[in-house]
Each structure stands twice: as C-alpha cells, then as structure tokens.
Chain A
Amino acid sequence: MAAALEVRNLSVYFQTPEGEVQAVRDLSLTVAAGEIVGLVGESGSGKSVTALAIMGLLPPSVSRTSGSALLGDRDLLALAPDRLVKARGRDISMIFQEPMTALDPLFRIGDQITETVRAHHRVSRRAAADRAIRILTDVGLPDPAARVRAYPHQLSGGMRQRVMIAIALVSEPAVLIADEPTTSLDVTVQAQILGLLAELSRAHGTAVVLITHDLGVVAETCSRVHTMYAGEIVEECSVDEALLAPKHPYTSGLIQAIPRAEKRRQPLYSIPGRVPPLTAMPSGCRFEPRCEHASESCRAAQPLERRDGRAVRCGRHGELTLPGAASGVDQ
C-alpha cells in the first residue's frame, strides 16, 4: 500500500541556554492510507515533539529540524511557510490531548469548524455551515444542528474531543496525527473516541498516527506500533508482535506496566528510573541505565536493526526472551 505519510530520518533540535540539544534522533515512520499506527513511550520520550515537528508547529526561533516528512510528493519540512499553512488542516491534521484548552473558548464550535472549511475551500458561509453540521453528525455529536451554536465550555470532554476530531477531519486530510486524544477522558468515553477514530479512518482512508503512553490503547486501535524512548525509535513491529513477543526491554517494560486484573494481588510494575534529560543522554544505548538486562556491550551506540518486517534497537535482542502480555497470565 502506498504510504500516506513517510517520515525519514527526522531529527529535532532545541536551542537552550546550555546550547543545542537533540530531542528526536533519526526517526523514521511510515503510515499507509487507512492504517492506524501507534507511537508509544513515556512522557518526555519525544512523541509530541515528533508530531509538532511533522506539522511544522514548533517555534522556529528555538527549534530546528532535519530529515523529511513526505506527504505524497511534498516534503512538509521543506515547504515554504505559506504552503505549509495551506497544507495544515487540509492535507494533514492534528488533534490534541486536552480538548478543553485546545478549542478556542470564545468562539462557537460551528464557527470553529466553518472557519477551517473556509480557510481551505472557496465556499459560501452557508455551504460551510452545512458542512459543519454534516461532519458533526459523522463524529457522532448528538443534535448537531443546535450544537453548532454552543461554546466549548457547554460541552462535555468527550463531546469536545468529537468536535476536535470534526475540525481535524472536515477537509478530509490524508493524514491525522492524534496526540494522546483520549488521555483526559473517562475510560468509557475513551473507548468510544478510539472506536470513532478507527471507523473514520476506515471509512475515509485516513492514515492515523496515534500517539499514546498507553499500550492498551495501541492494542485496541493500531495495526503497527513504534516504541519511542529518549528521542529514538527503539522498536517497530506489528501490535501482536509487540504485545506477545517484544524484543526491546523497554517495550517489554511498558507491557509489564499495564495494570491487569489477573495480576491484582501483585504490586504494580514500573520501570525503575526515568527518561534521561536531553542534556545528559547516555552515549550508548539510551535505555541502558534503566535496563535490567544491561551488559558491557550496551555502552556502545545501538543501531536500529531491521529484520523480517520489524526493527529493534537492542544489541542483545537475540539472546533475550522478554515477557510480553501473555506471560503475565496464569498458564
């Protein structure tokens, strides 16, 4: 299948008072039309920075990117500013974690949708308003004809996120980046929103990059998953492979950290330590200081090895058998 979005060797640098630091290193990621790909990792692993870099939303005064993000034959990272503005919202869209603060509190939701339509298409106000009601119907907002006049604070969190999705998809973009779209929602609403994203992606052939720290969300929604740690992809494979037979100790650790009913009498697992700060990255494997399988060889830089349609950034993956989701279940 043709790639809708192909990110190649993306690196992101930030200027800080202490000098330039690298937040994302050499990241590659491909999403096909109609496919939902997960990007998982802890807070601080660089997922959101990756998304903002692809969208060109990082402040240029303090950041710099290299690599490419191909949307069809256009490289978003090399696009002239005015053409990038036109591509955003029309060819590639993004939804955010907190739908309350992500919507403009001072404008009616109908107007927030129609202005998006009119920014990209020469249509009348009337046609744009009709389009707004139709997309709100598509995202399952009850009573859309009346709700267009509502302000964001008059809607629940789940409804606001539906509105965000409507805004993002109203121009039927080829690619949607969803950055923790369900993190701030109730579990039941979370499942509805994920279901909606999957349904819309299938119906319109939208390629979706789903960013989350929750492998449970990935398991429910995605076909493939990229695990990200400290600014690098450490593992890339199908969701089944990742869950059943992870090859990177970090992916395995994330799986162990999912609370599960059958482990209810045991203490919750957490990966010891935290993501290293950008100013103090280990020179070898970046996960090495926190890894229970670390050995002398891990002090060297680890390349991302590709084999059999999956990739892993761990020199010891051949010798390790790591626990996945199944190993926690009583066998």
Chain B
Amino acid sequence: MRRLLLERAVWLVPTLLLATFGVFWLIHLAPGDPAITLAGENATARQIAAIRHELGLDQPFLLQYWHWLTHAWRGNLGTSLNTREGVAGAIGHALPVTLQLVLGGLLLAAVLGTIAGIVSARRAGTSTDAAVSTLASAGAAIPSFWLGLVLISMFALGTHWFPATGSVALTSNPGQALRHLVLPSIALGVSGAAEIARQLRAVLIDILGSDHIRTLRAKGLSERRIVWLHALKGAAVPLMTIVGLQVSRFLGAAVVVEAVFGISGIGSLVVGAAQNHDYPVVEGVVVVMALIVIVVNFAVDVSYRIFDPRIR
C-alpha cells in the first residue's frame, strides 16, 4: 500500500507538469489578448501595452509559464486576470458545486448501471436482455445537453416537480440541494449508467459461467446470494475501473450540464476563463482536476486490493 502511494506521488509530478504546460501553450496559441479586453473600448495602444506589462504578458511564453509554475509550486495559484479575484478562492467556491453534481451523477450511474447490468446478464439472450441493451445503447448515445433540456421541459417547466436551474449547497440545505441535483445528475449520469451496464453485463456473463459459480450452485446457495455476493464481488475490480473512468469523464461533461442548468461550478468558471485568456484560472482548474483524477485512480487501485486478495 505504501509503495503504491509512493509510486502515485512520483507520477504526480510529470502528470501535472505535462497537463499545465499543455494547457498554458494552448491558451497562448489561441487568438485574442486579455489586455485589450481589460483596457476597455477607448483605450490607447500605450494603455494596452501598460496593462500587458503589468500582467507580464509581454514576457516570452516560456518565462510566463516559469513564473506561474514557481508561484504555483509555493501554493500561490495567482489571481484572475479579469476579476482580480484569487484563483484559489474562485475554485474553492466553484468546486463543491461541481463535486456535488459529479457525485450525484456517479451515484445514479453506479446504481442504475449495476442493476441493469445484473438484470441483463442473468437473462442473457432473452428479450429482457435485448431491451436493457437497447436502452443502454440509447443512453450512451443521447447527448447530455439534449437530455438536460428535455428533462427541464418535462419535469421542471412541465410538472414543476424539480427546479429548472441553479444549485444549493448540500451543507446549507440538504433537501433543497437534492431537489436541485436530481435533473442535472440524471443528465450527467445516464451515459455513465449505460457504460457501466454494458461492461458489467459482459463481465458477469463470464463470471456466472465459471467453475466456482457452478460449485456455489452445487452446494445449494440461493441464486440471489450467488449473483449479488459472489458474482458481484468477482466483478468488483472491472466495475471499479469503469466507475473510476466515469469520474474523469463526468468532470469534463459537467461543463456542459452546468451550462444547461445554469449552475455556476467549475465548468462555467473555466469556460469563462478560457474565453478571456485568463490563464491563471484555467491553470488552477487544470491542477485541481488532475489532482482529483489522480486521487480517484489511487482509490480505485486501493479498492482492487480490498476486493481481490490475490492482488495484495
């Protein structure tokens, strides 16, 4: 376990360097100049140049990255070029909103996907299996923004069961927060549920045909115990892998879902920043996202060791 942790920590450095440098470079390549925007409509060339100088934008690209990197290394993510707000603070406000949404989507995807996967694996080859598989294909194919719009028009504007937009922190008002979370979580989670169902079905069909499951039947265990305890534990390692992959996918997809539901999370923060060449904010978000993905991967690796004694 300690070795794994050390290994992951060592990989963290090149991963973060590569991600932050790549994003920095992309922002640099993109057309537009934040100084012009900041200077306002009637600014003179001198005023713009002064702003560029003040922000360090007149320095060579590599030097700019180096400055950012040395500050970030010391824990200083800098301030937003546009709002002058501290990047850490801005992320601190937006991140919980997004994590709440990602967790909601993940929970939905895991529960729905697991149930659908088990149902179709146990009835493999039947019409039930075909129906579930068709639904899963549809779920994987539907774009989340479209699903979000449909959900809003049906269950928010149509029936008023759920609010159409906005979010509430789970810590401030759990009931309201959950009501706000339902529709965006569905919009975000359905494709993940479809993916989990598809993969779990294949894994379970394989496991349910294996020798040790036959032994369990031969010794008189109930089918329920065989499927939900033994087969599902056998499927846990691939299942955790897929769930872990969904986390990083959802962090990306949350951008779109947040836009549809008017949620001001990381997505809206980073989109706005990218449009304005606000590289400190974008870089800060990249660092945080990369850290989250790395932590999730680590957790997945640890879960392998919990579920499969042979990996210990």
Q: Which A residues fall within an 8 A CB radius of B?
A: 55, 57, 61, 85-90, 93-94, 96, 98, 101-107, 115-116, 119-120, 151, 153, 164, 167-168
Q: Are B310 and A151 in contact (CB under 8 A)?
A: yes
Q: Are A107 and B230 in contact (CB under 8 A)?
A: yes
| B interface size (C-beta, 8 A) | 22
B-side contacts of A107, CB under 8 Å: 230, 233
Q: Are B220 and A102 in contact (CB under 8 A)?
A: no
Q: Are A153 and B215 in contact (CB under 8 A)?
A: no
A-side contacts of B28, CB under 8 Å: none
Q: How far is the CB of A227 from chain B (nearest CB, A)?
A: 25
10 more CB-based (< 8 A) A-B contacts, given A85-B217, A102-B211, A119-B221 = A88-B218, A89-B218, A89-B220, A96-B215, A96-B218, A104-B215, A104-B234, A106-B308, A115-B225, A119-B222
Offer 24 A-B interface pairs, CB within 8 angstroms, sorted by A. Answer: A57-B217, A85-B222, A87-B220, A89-B219, A89-B221, A94-B218, A96-B214, A98-B211, A101-B210, A102-B212, A103-B215, A104-B212, A105-B212, A105-B309, A105-B310, A106-B307, A106-B308, A107-B230, A115-B221, A116-B219, A116-B220, A153-B309, A153-B310, A164-B215
A-side contacts of B75, CB under 8 Å: none
Interface string of B186-218 (1 = CB under 8 A from A): 000000000000000000000000111011111
Q: How far is the CB of A180 from chain B (nearest CB, A)?
A: 12
Most A CB within 10 A of own CB, among B125, B219, B230, B310: B219
Q: Are A167 and B220 in contact (CB under 8 A)?
A: no
B-side contacts of A153, CB under 8 Å: 309-310
Q: Are B219 and A168 in contact (CB under 8 A)?
A: yes
Q: Which B residues fall within an 8 A CB radius of A?
A: 125, 210-212, 214-223, 225, 230, 233-234, 307-310
A-side contacts of B230, CB under 8 Å: 104, 106-107
B-side contacts of A88, CB under 8 Å: 217-220
Q: Which 9 A-B pairs have the closest CB atoms?
A: A89-B220, A89-B219, A101-B211, A88-B220, A94-B218, A104-B212, A151-B309, A116-B219, A102-B215
Contact residue among B217, B219, B233, B307 (Cβ-Cβ distance under 8 Å from A167): B219
Most A CB within 10 A of own CB, among B125, B212, B217: B212
A-side contacts of B217, CB under 8 Å: 57, 85, 88
Q: Are B125 and A93 in contact (CB under 8 A)?
A: no
Q: Determine the distance from Cα of A55 to Cα of B217 in the docked complex, in whole angstroms.
A: 9
A-side contacts of B222, CB under 8 Å: 85, 119
Who on chain B is nearest to A167 by CB? B219
Q: How far is the CB of A94 from chain B (nearest CB, A)?
A: 4
Contact residue among B211, B215, B219, B234 (Cβ-Cβ distance under 8 Å from A106): B234
B-side contacts of A87, CB under 8 Å: 220
B-side contacts of A119, CB under 8 Å: 219-222, 225
A-side contacts of B307, CB under 8 Å: 106
Q: How far is the CB of B269 from chain A (nearest CB, A)?
A: 43
B-side contacts of A106, CB under 8 Å: 230, 233-234, 307-309
Q: Determine the distance from Cα of A17 to Cα of B221 in the docked complex, in whole angstroms.
A: 32
Q: Determine the distance from Cα of A168 to Cα of B219 in the docked complex, in whole angstroms.
A: 7
Given contacts A105-B310, A151-B310, contact A120 B212 (CB under 8 A): no
Q: How far is the CB of A96 from chain B (nearest CB, A)?
A: 6
Q: Determine the distance from Cα of A96 to Cα of B210 in the docked complex, in whole angstroms.
A: 12
Q: How far is the CB of A65 from chain B (nearest CB, A)?
A: 16
Most A CB within 10 A of own CB, among B125, B215, B230: B215
A-side contacts of B220, CB under 8 Å: 85-90, 116, 119-120
Most A CB within 10 A of own CB, among B210, B214, B307: B214
Q: How far is the CB of B82 from chain A (nearest CB, A)?
A: 53
A-side contacts of B308, CB under 8 Å: 105-106
Q: Are A167 and B221 in contact (CB under 8 A)?
A: no
B-side contacts of A93, CB under 8 Å: 218-219
Given contacts A96-B211, A102-B212, A104-B230, contact A61 B219 (CB under 8 A): no
Contact residue among B125, B212, B218, B309 (Cβ-Cβ distance under 8 Å from A57): B218
A-side contacts of B215, CB under 8 Å: 96, 102-104, 164, 167
A-side contacts of B219, CB under 8 Å: 88-89, 93, 116, 119, 167-168
B-side contacts of A164, CB under 8 Å: 215
Q: Determine the distance from Cα of A175 to Cα of B219 in the docked complex, in whole angstroms.
A: 12
Who on chain B is nearest to A120 by CB? B220
Q: Determine the distance from Cα of A145 to Cα of B158 in the docked complex, in whole angstroms.
A: 65
Q: How far is the CB of A155 from chain B (nearest CB, A)?
A: 12
Q: Determine the distance from Cα of A94 to Cα of B72 in the docked complex, in whole angstroms.
A: 64
A-side contacts of B218, CB under 8 Å: 55, 57, 88-89, 93-94, 96, 168
Q: Determine the distance from Cα of A94 to Cα of B214 in the docked complex, in whole angstroms.
A: 10
A-side contacts of B216, CB under 8 Å: 104
Who on chain B is nearest to A108 by CB? B309
Q: How far is the CB of B116 from chain A (nearest CB, A)?
A: 21
Q: How far is the CB of B307 from chain A (nearest CB, A)?
A: 7
Q: Determine the distance from Cα of A103 to Cα of B222 in the docked complex, in whole angstroms.
A: 17
Q: Are A102 and B221 in contact (CB under 8 A)?
A: no
Q: How far is the CB of B242 from chain A (nearest CB, A)?
A: 18
Q: How far is the CB of B230 from chain A (nearest CB, A)?
A: 6
Q: Determine the distance from Cα of A153 to Cα of B308 in the docked complex, in whole angstroms.
A: 11
Contact residue among A61, A90, A101, A116 (Cβ-Cβ distance under 8 Å from B125): A61
